[in-house]
Amino acid sequence: MALSRTNGFYNAYEYAYGAAGPTTPDTLKVYVGTTAAGAASLTVNYGQIGLSDGTNLAPFAITTPITIGLGANAETVTPSAVSNPTPGVYGSCVLTATFANVHGSGDPIASGSIGLQEAINAAAAAGGGTVVLTGAWWANGGTLAILQAATVPNVPRASLATPTVPLGATVRVLDQTTLTFYEFKGNSVSLLSAPSIPLITQVASTTATGTWTAVTTYVKFVYVNAIGGLSAASSEYSFTATVSKAIGGTGPIAATGAVGYLVFIGTTTNVNYQVVVSTSSGTPIQCGAIAAFQIGTSFSSTAITTSATALPPVLATASATLALQPVSAPNMLQPFQTVYGPFANVTTVTAGTAAEIARFDTPTAFLNQIGRAIRITAWLSYTPGSTATLIPSLLIESVYGTTTTTVWTVTTAATSGTTQTNARIEIILVTAATGTSGTIETHGIMQFGSVSGSAPAFLAVGDAVTAASGAINLAVQNTFSLQMNSGTANLTSVRVRQLIVEVLQ
């Protein structure tokens, strides 16, 4: 008898119900079928099946393909809905999908991924593990296309032992025939839209005691997806707070791809500070490196969080159609999103005033290790005013918008064009000292198109860093903020097209 799982390893082929192997479980069958092709529901005889080692598997999910029917009538579809309240009760499981063929009572139902997606789901449900592709998996219908189509359920690890690590980083696939590991990375072409402007039904003064005064108060919401990507901020809503009361509400409505939300409040328009996410202020949910309020739950703020500098609106990095899909992984797993962009376009950078053009967050204490090395590469487009100089800088913030250290900056020579051109920034950071007063040594180069054109020649400028940074609290979650300033003339647009973060050590 083969084991479906042992010591954190999940044998994909043992989950291949309906496959032709000697130890794989039998097929499930249609109990009440469809009457026409197209979107339809059908009833299955049972919602679970026994594996060869006695494990009961409930295989159906909206992420998990099934193969249904025989011969020319057979097809592989992915359910759009699953109702399986009592898997062991005959005739209680209903699947909804779009079928090309009609399927009647008795039609067999088998795994559409030769057990791979079912094994991944089992590993994810257990908090992580390694799914193994054996020679038997490949020999009985497994293909590279099936592997590339596999996904990890897109949920945060809020209840697990290491909640700052997204679930996708804890599940991987080992192809035993080539000794190749595959890790799961975010893959999406669709951005998560900003929340709608807050309503009086979503945020207002409450009956709870607080320290707010009767002044005009401004509020914005931001969506957070399961691996810590942030949407753009909503439009700003204002109301008059009630003296000596807390401010709270339901937060934004649910949206596809959003599992959490952040709240920014201030007493001056467009000067908003983040409401602290904690059990005393709401229901926290860990989204990758980001702690947020869980969508569908309320928040409360007894007192405003103040700062010497305004918290700018968050730029769009969150994906609405995020899938965590496998890529070959010879290097270490990254416990946070590592490829970002494109970011929102910053339409004006006024000379002398820095604007944030990109940001990302690392998990708690990720930088708190001597020798930790990160390389950041950014490709950006910009439109300069004539004779403008570019002044990019990288900030590390232990409290975003409040506790900030500039670790790298350069100033370019003046440009000589006024049409859009490109630039490239590469920065390497190494932790020099750890703890609440840690330090980072940072070096980087910016290459930029001095003269605009369809294929601009790049000039380069390097930094003048000769020592480690000032003190930074590396024992907490840190935010990296890439900012752009200009000298002499304004920039009429700056947009980071790609931001790539690589962990070197």
Q: What is the largest CA-CA distance in the chain?
A: 77
- Is the per-residue pLDDT at 113 higher than 80? yes
Within 8 A by CB and 6+ apart from 150, the residues are 113, 116, 117, 120, 173, 325, 326
pLDDT-derived band of residue 418, with 50, 70 and 90 as boundaries? confident
The residue with greater pLDDT, 403 or 74, is 74
Q: What is the pLDDT of residues 60-103, one digit of tens each?
A: 988 899 999 999 999 999 998 899 999 999 999 999 999 999 99
* Whether the predicted pLDDT of 312 surpasses 50: no
Q: How confident is the model at residue 53 (pLDDT cuts 50, 70, 90)?
A: confident
Quote the pLDDT of residue 306: 67
> Does residue 320 carry a pLDDT above 80?
no
Q: How buried is residue 411: exposed, middle or buried, by Cβ count under 10 Å (0-12/13-18/19+)?
A: middle
Identify each DSSP E strand in 295-353 by its residue range.
299-301, 323-328, 339-340
Write out pLDDT tens, residues 207-235. 999 999 999 999 999 888 776 777 878 99
Distance, in Å, from the CA atom of 86 to the CA atom of 37, rounded to the nearest integer, reads 27
Q: What is the pLDDT of residue 444?
A: 96
Q: Closest Cα partner for 427 from 442, 438, 416? A: 442
Average pLDDT score, the chain: 84
Of the segments 121-125, 182-186, 261-265, which one has the largest average pLDDT value?
A: 261-265
- Looking at CATH, the fold of the domain delimited by 336-503 is given as Jelly Rolls (2.60.120)
pTM for the full predicted model:
0.50
The confidence score (pLDDT) of residue 284 equals 87
146 closest CA partner among 174, 121, 117: 117
Domains in the chain: boundaries: 5-184, 204-301, 336-503
Mean pLDDT, range 390-395, rounded to an integer: 95
What percentage of residues in the chain have a pLDDT greater than 70? 85
Q: What is the DSSP letter of 230?
A: B
Percent of the chain with pLDDT over 90: 47
Q: What angle do CA 52, 53, 58 make, to 5 degrees?
A: 75
pLDDT at 37 over 70: yes
**Beta bridge partners of residue 185, listed in sequence order:** 325
Q: pLDDT value at position 454?
A: 62
Residue-wise pLDDT for 247-296, tens only, equals 999 999 988 778 889 998 888 888 778 888 888 899 988 776 678 898 88
Q: How far, in whole angstroms, is CA 63 from its chain's centroid?
A: 18
439-465 pLDDT, tens digit each: 999 999 999 886 655 667 788 999 999
The reported pLDDT for the residue numbered 169 is: 59
